[in-house]
Structure 1
Amino acid sequence: MSRIFDFYLDASIHVALAIVSLVHVTALTLNINVPQELYIFIFFGSIGCYNFVKYGVEAKKYILVASRYHKNIQLFSFGCLLISFYQLFFLSERVIVALFFLVAITGLYALPVLPRHKNFRSLSGLKILIVAMVWAGTTVILPVISQLGVISWNVKVETFQRFMLVLIVLVPFEIRDLKYDSVALKTLPQRVGVKATKLIGLGWSIIFFAVTFLKTDLDVINVVVKSILFVILLTVIFKTKLNQKKYFSSFWVESIPLLWWVLLMIGKKYLILL
């Protein structure tokens, strides 16, 4: 069971579920019906893209991996990419155009397109911004344009809030990886230290929650859910430390989007009766 669970995490299945859960959060929050094909595309595409970024930069020519374990993940990822590619035929043209930009950003993040064989990930401070941008675009913009085609004020607020959420969730990972990241990356903890990074994360959490009240169609369910989520984010940032337990970031922190979805589903079912 331990090996299966580790493969579930290492093969990015957990993070893909987190991304898809945020897509459904967008659907529930903005009251839109997201096509099933888009859910399938995002789930399997996230696995393939995440594993490419995670392991591709370490592999020879981004293809050849050394260990048998990573080869299994690679084969699994290729299978997921084939499934997501098939779903492309059922998506609208405007979604495909938006996908092109998101894939391009992901490619710039991982591929050595800059002089001296560097990628955008190696540029100071850009790492978490690019990840947050791609997550926000994938979980808000794609489902919205698949149905509405118009980016309203509430959609902009939701996109910014999603961007902030990802920045906050990345803080524990940035602190955890401080021992392994190259000094050249100049990550936030490398620049300002662990304590200051946590303070910044707390500040981002306050912004995340405050933005909720900028929406024009605010309802009690979203306020209650965001309040609970706000407390959870504060708790996670507070408990984050350099030497973390094995699954603190890779499972528990990455479960926050899933928890948001669960809270919203419960709220839609029970709080609406109040």
Structure 2
Amino acid sequence: MRTLKAIFDFYLDASVHVAIAVISMAGVTFHLLGSSSDINLMGFIFFSVIVCYNFIKYGVEAYKYLIVSNAYHKIIQLFSFVSFAFAIYFLLKLDKAIWMATLVLGALSALYAVPLLPSAKNLRNLAGLKIYIVAFVWAGFSVLLPVLDAKIALDWDFAVTFIQRMLLVLVLILPFEIRDLQWDDKSLRTFPQVFGIKNTTRLGIGLILIFFLMTFLKDEIHQNEITLRLILSIALILVLVSKKRMQSKYFVMFWVEAIPIFWFCLFWWTENYF
């Protein structure tokens, strides 16, 4: 039992779970496009998310994460370096359009943690900007890159889907901000810091409603998309109203981040059995 817990903790601590969540959202995009998933793109997204998140988690946000030992930290570092090598391997198999998009998204991710000048602030420390940068980068990896890979025009439906994905990520981040209220510097001006927990929950529910209703703005709606977005929206609302559970490490790091995986499984299940 102790070994299983250690493996599970590493799965969470090394950002494998969040990487699966991001490729799940990319998988949903491929389903919406009616296109087969590109294993090279999915591999690149998976390993690059691990590298990016571990860099941020154990760099600029290390104060939030308790590392049980220096040896454990070294193992995560080694895992991150190996993941970086795999990310480059898969990136080299992709089109140059994806390289350019990745360069922009990567620059935003880097500026989130590293300032341009020694005396300057990074994007994370610019009041209120942190959550929007994360949402944009997630949407870029899970919507823009699959669309570029499928060589589909960046049309109206793409714009709607991109904004919806940003809204989804914003909502998914709120439980983390509520959990981290006791640790985050007040200069970050997170939603719970500015509006309080109750109003942040109300804001999240409002964003979920917008996320769902925007589906009707699309020119082409995927089969079962409305139903599956409704199920997803209900799941998100249930998470937001579970305030007490947000203080649990496993509730936020596992169950909240598992929502995109659940969403992808719904798409896969309906397309294969209905």
TM-score by length of 1: 0.92
> Per-residue displacement from partner, 1:39-86 (whole Å, max 9, x unpaired)?
111111110111011112267xxxxxx822111101100000001111
SS of corresponding position for 2:219: coil
Q: What residue number does 1:63 align with?
A: none
Would you say 1:31 and 2:34 are equivalent positions?
A: yes
Within 2, Cα distance between the matches of 1:35 and 1:220?
21
Would you say 1:110 and 2:144 are equivalent positions?
A: no
SS of corresponding position for 2:119: helix
Would you say 1:139 and 2:142 are equivalent positions?
A: yes
Q: What residue number does 2:80 align with?
A: 77
> Per-residue displacement from partner, 1:213-270 (whole Å, max 9, x unpaired)?
1111224411111111111111111113486222111000000000000111111123
Q: What residue number does 2:18 align with?
A: 15
**Higher alpha-carbon deviation: 186-195 or 262-271:** 262-271
Contact 2:135 2:169 in 1 (8 A): yes
Among 234, 240, 256, the alignment partner of 1:231 is 234
SS of corresponding position for 1:239: coil
Contact 2:12 2:254 in 1 (8 A): yes
Among 87, 93, 97, the alignment partner of 2:96 is 93
Contact 1:236 1:253 in 2 (8 A): yes
Q: How does 1:163-178 map to 2 (within 5 A)?
A: 163-178=166-181
**One-letter code of the match for 2:41?**
L
Within 2, Cα distance between the matches of 1:250 and 1:243?
9
Cα 1:193–1:242, aligned 2, differ >3 Å: closer, same or farther? farther
Q: What residue number does 2:66 align with?
A: none
**One-letter code of the match for 2:232?**
L
> Per-residue displacement from partner, 1:87-130 (whole Å, max 9, x unpaired)?
22211011100000000000110113256352110111111100
Cα 1:177–1:103, aligned 2, differ >3 Å: closer, same or farther? same
Within 2, Cα distance between the matches of 1:243 and 1:228?
21
Contact 1:225 1:267 in 2 (8 A): no
Among 6, 9, 15, the alignment partner of 1:6 is 9
Cα 1:259–1:58, aligned 2, differ >3 Å: closer, same or farther? closer
SS of corresponding position for 2:258: helix
**Higher alpha-carbon deviation: 115-124 or 249-258:** 115-124
Q: What residue number does 2:47 align with?
A: 44
**Higher alpha-carbon deviation: 9-18 or 36-45:** 36-45
Q: CA deviation at 1:192?
A: 1.0
Moved over 6 A (4+): none
Within 1, Cα distance between the matches of 2:55 and 2:266?
31
Within 2, Cα distance between the matches of 1:56 and 1:232?
32
**One-letter code of the match for 1:251?**
F
SS of corresponding position for 2:203: helix
Q: CA deviation at 1:149?
A: 4.6
Number of positions where the alignment pairs a residue of Structure 1 with one of Structure 2: 265
Cα 1:142–1:266, aligned 2, differ >3 Å: closer, same or farther? same
Q: How does 1:187-206 map to 2 (within 5 A)?
A: 187-206=190-209
Q: How does 1:238-249 map to 2 (within 5 A)?
A: 238-241=241-244, 244-249=247-252
Among 147, 158, 162, the alignment partner of 2:161 is 158
Within 1, Cα distance between the matches of 2:86 and 2:209?
39
Question: What's the RMSD between the two structures over aligned residues?
Answer: 1.6
**Higher alpha-carbon deviation: 221-230 or 100-109:** 221-230
Within 2, Cα distance between the matches of 1:35 and 1:242?
37
